[in-house]
Structure 1
Amino acid sequence: MSQSLIFDMDGTLFQTDKILEISLEDTFNYLRSVDKWDSVTPIDKYREIMGVPLPKVWETLLPNHSNEVREQTDAYFLERLIENIRNGKGALYPNVKEVFSYLKENNCSIYIASNGLTEYLKAIVSYYDLDNWVTETFSIQQIESLNKSDLVQSIIKKFGITNGAVVGDRLSDINAAKENGLVSIGCNFDFAQEDELSQADMVINHLVELQTILPRLSR
């Protein structure tokens, strides 16, 4: 039976931490330069909430700032992320392309569902040629509710998916699988949290493990 795997991007396929800190530092340096920030860059706070939609990120990191400032900050941060991706400062997790090739050879359809913004995702997919394997990449921007479960549901409806899994490192990915009748595969990677992973159907420590568990995904 053919399988469909829906992957998260940040912290699952893409090692976001490699560009996160420098992009966030660039952004808060900008805020300091316009007298909108006068403290250290809140990198630890960002890591705690990694995986939530960006509007919620800025509500958390800039709780006392106006929506206008948050939107300006969001736009600047996106510019820095994309530039750092295009400059090769990021990286995929080990074996992403090898695993994708294996999945395609074994009649699997591959999709990406991310809380990242559309232009950011395009930059990653383009730089690493992921379109060679990925059927389509979906951004949370495409869903009014900004809910990962709704985003996954839209993919299921568009492609008539009846069998497969959601692969991701955070609770939003696990819930997106469960609420849509798919298997949840938790990734014990950089931003994962033990209490969240405990709710997944399966947990992997390396993407290459997908090759051994693929036969178990049929229900």
Structure 2
Amino acid sequence: MNSAIIFDMDGTLYQTNLILEPALEATFEQLRKNGLWTGTTPIEKYRQIMGVPLPVVWETLCPEHSIEIRQESNSLFQLALIEQISSCNGALYNEVENTLAKLSKHYPLFIASNGQTEYLQAIADTYQLTKWIKGIYSIDLIASGNKSELVATVLKENNINHGFVVGDRSSDIQAALDNDLISIGVRFDFSQESELEKAHYTVNHFDEIDKIIEHELNTTAFD
């Protein structure tokens, strides 16, 4: 079998929590200056929905605004995030680099994320992820915004018929289930225990992942 490991980005590889607050604050400060928002920045609300497609983010944070204003808000937010990334205000989780380096010797690695292309590329460039990651797939590629369809695209384009999805939200676990892959849930910043209930495995530290994959290698007949 052709096997691979597909990773989520936010809250799985990258500590988005480190750049979320300043980027979101900058965005809503601009909205306040434009007379489009009053009150505090809804950071907690965003933390609760982190990982959902971006249109859903802005429907949730700005339910009274027009589609045009939501799109403008998202553009401001993406620019603020990329600025934070490029300034190295974020970070990869502990042991991500070592684990990716180890796994990449045996498996092709991919990223499938609800983040936009430019955002994902900024992280990949800043932390030189392409040393280990074979392909980066953004939800921009899927009109429906469905994570399961995005993972299916990764499988089809790379002739993969077995492997793993590693992520922190229910959409990652569901994407694995829908595509007959093994799911590994990570209990990091944005994860919620109820969303990881259906995961085949869960980990508290990133370097536990390679042990799980080794276990599967020893118990399952795949390349």
Instruction: Give the TM-score normalised by structure 2.
Output: 0.96
**Structure 1 residue 216 displacement after superposition:** 2.6
1:190 equivalenced with 2:178 (yes/no): no
In 2, Cα distance between the equivalents of 1:2 and 1:69? Answer: 44
Matched, 1:9 2:9: yes
Q: Which amino acid aligns with 2:114?
A: N
Q: Which runs of 5+ in 1 are unaligned?
A: none
Give a deviation string over 1:113-141, Cα, whole Å, max 9, x none. 00000000000000000000000000000
Residue 199 of structure 1: how far off its partner (Å): 1.1
In the alignment, is the contact (CA less than 8 A) between 2:2 and 2:161 conserved in 1? no
CA distance in 1, matches of 2:208, 2:2: 18
Does structure 1 residue 207 correspond to structure 2 residue 206?
yes
The alpha-carbon deviation at position 201 of structure 1 amounts to 0.4
The separation in 1 between residues aligned to 2:76 and 2:68, in whole angstroms, is 12
Q: CA deviation at 1:191?
A: 0.5
Deviations 1:156-181 (CA, angstroms, capped at 9, x unpaired):
00111112100000000000000001
Pair 1:57 & 2:57 matched: yes
How many residue pairs match? The answer is 218
Q: How does 1:104-143 map to 2 (within 5 A)?
A: 104-105=104-105, 107-143=106-142
1:79 aligns with 2:79: yes
Backbone CA RMSD of aligned residues: 1.0
Q: Normalization by structure 1: what TM-score?
A: 0.97
**Deviation for aligned residue 1:217:** 2.8
Deviation at 1:41, TM superposition (A): 0.4
In structure 2, distance between residues paired with 1:146 and 1:8: 14
Hey, what's the Cα distance between the residues in 2 that align with 1:2 and 1:153? 14
Contact conserved, 2:165 with 2:183, CA < 8 A, in 1?
A: yes
Query: Percent identical across equivalent pairs?
Result: 50
> SS of the residue aligned with 2:108?
strand
1:103 corresponds to which letter in structure 2?
A: L
* Structure 2 residues without counterparts, runs of 5 or longer: none
Contact 2:2–2:160 (CA under 8 A) maintained in structure 1: no
